Structure 1
Amino acid sequence: MQIESISQQFFRVFVSVTLVLLGLSLPLITKADSVHVAVAANMQFAFEELKGEFKKQSGHDLKGVFNSSGKFVNQIKNGAPFDVFMSADMDYPTVLFHEGFSDVPPKIYAYGAIVLWSNKFKDLRGWQAIIQDSKTQKIAIANPKTAPYGREALKTLKHFKLDSIAAPRLVYAESISQVNQYIYSGLVDLGFTAKSVVLSSEMQGKGVWLELPKESYTPIAQGVIVLRHGREKAGNVSKQFYEFLSTVKAKEILQKNGYTVP
């Protein structure tokens, strides 16, 4: 009886210790938390690299959705469950902050540049003459009401006094992503897009592009903000990604993709 009692006691202790160890290890073996990120369309290609590096460093996944910044603002205000918002400007995330959709002000993570891109022309160095030429029928631009890159592209046209000439030829797209589709497919003669697009591995060597003078538009300061949903549902990971964008490695990725960094 004594031997059996000792065996039973040992078994009970073994089971108890095992359960404790399993309980302590649960955070390590459960599925890594993922963060849902609303990503401005100009960041589409760079985001994939950022996503990979963040996963490598933190073990957490990022799930990106791409659209124009203005459309994201409307979706967020209507309850879309995004954790982090990577905007194409600072205006949109600042509005969300002031309206209570975040507890922390947005910060600049990158400065974007505008380029003119074409899959039809062989040389864009005379781009102003090309826009004025009656043979140029369609020019793609992101909707300036919802896409900061479209808004700044209009400023460039106005700066060079080309706005009235270009106006009847402009084809408005939902976002930079759609602008890229129009240009790449040849549905338009040329279009205004983000420098990060033409530098991406997917688009390098396709068509010709020309970076537009920075003095012709307002510098595109792109802001990131942790949303209230992200703080409540994935607070630690959302904040971790927010801070990751200021790291040396993240800045290297952004610079490689045509952005300048703060």
Structure 2
Amino acid sequence: MMNFFPFRLLLTFCFALMIQFNNSAQPLRVAVAANAQDVIKKLQVDFKKKTGITIEVIIGSSGKLTAQIMNGAPYDVFLSADTEFPAKLYAAGFGSEKPKIYALGSLIICGNTKGDIKNWQKLITSPQTTKLAIANPKTAPYGKAAKESLEFYKLKDWVEKKLVYGESISQVNTYIQTGVVNVGFTTEAFLYENSDKSKLKWTRVDTKTYSALTQSVILLKHPKGNQLAQATKFYDYLSSASARKIITANGYHLPKQN
């Protein structure tokens, strides 16, 4: 009777090699808040050039991505538009180390309007502004910041009927670009993403009127082995001179380095 043991052993060895190959070939899964969807494309290219590691980007609102991670989504790194959601993940045991701030954002109000955008508080309460876009404050940090600013100026009730909510800041940007709304609250980085800025008027919202938009990154516990090494490389890369240069060139400010 033929002994199939060596053949079985060979098959097991080949199968193990295939699994290892598939794991190593799997792209790094990076969940990214919608406000950073443009800058992540540039970071993605630069990181691959430097390391050879491919990144698969998943875009969404910070709140929705956090919910997905807590429900088992197999992401390796998460770039949020705030510190609150990553801190929540870390406290719940989903992070391998404390989150760190990688960029500082700023809120603007922007749109294709004939009104005086500099005096935006008066503009949004005037009859000429019929629709005002804002991201969902519950899931999008830039939406939360916009709500805080409206409340600071005691304008929330005045404009409630005019508000058009976007699922994420990306949807708000679409509303602004397509003229669905007169004006909208968005990130300053939007100005760097939009190729046709000439039609848009914009102004910064006073930073004293909303909580700081400190954008954090967290290394998640999901990756193992080679995937963990790659995730750690990207996590560390965000603090590199090369990454910081790309971040500042796309409408963000930088946190102080220790």
Where in structure 2 are the equivalents of 1:243-254 lying within 5 Å?
Answer: 243-254=236-247
Where in structure 2 are the equivalents of 1:53-202 lying within 5 Å?
Answer: 53-121=46-114, 123-200=116-193, 202=195
CA distances 1:210-233 after superposition (whole Å, capped 9, x unpaired): 111111111111110111113467
Q: Which consecutive aligned stretches of 4+ in structure 1 deviate over 3 angstroms post-superposition?
A: 30-33, 120-123, 201-206
Contact 1:118-1:209 at 8 Å conserved across structures: yes
Unaligned runs of 5+ in 2: 1-16
Partner residue of 1:236 out of 222, 229, 232: 229
CA distance in 2, matches of 1:209, 1:108: 26
> Which residue pairs with 1:212 in the alignment?
205
Contact 1:122-1:207 at 8 Å conserved across structures: no
- In structure 1, give the amino acid aligned to 2:251: G
- CA displacement at 1:246 relative to structure 2: 0.4
CA distance in 2, matches of 1:189, 1:201: 17
SS in 2 for 1:229: coil
- CA displacement at 1:206 relative to structure 2: 4.6
CA distance in 2, matches of 1:112, 1:40: 12
Between structure 1 and structure 2, the one with the greater Rg is: 1
* Pair 1:96–1:137, CA change in 2 (3 A): same
Q: TM-score, normalised by structure 1?
A: 0.84
CA distance in 1, matches of 2:48, 2:198: 29
CA distance in 2, matches of 1:203, 1:228: 41
Contact 1:114-1:193 at 8 Å conserved across structures: yes
Contact 1:141-1:153 at 8 Å conserved across structures: yes
CA distance in 1, matches of 2:51, 2:156: 47
Unaligned runs of 5+ in 1: 1-22
Contact 1:122-1:208 at 8 Å conserved across structures: no
SS in 2 for 1:111: strand
Contact 1:37-1:86 at 8 Å conserved across structures: yes
Contact 1:34-1:237 at 8 Å conserved across structures: no
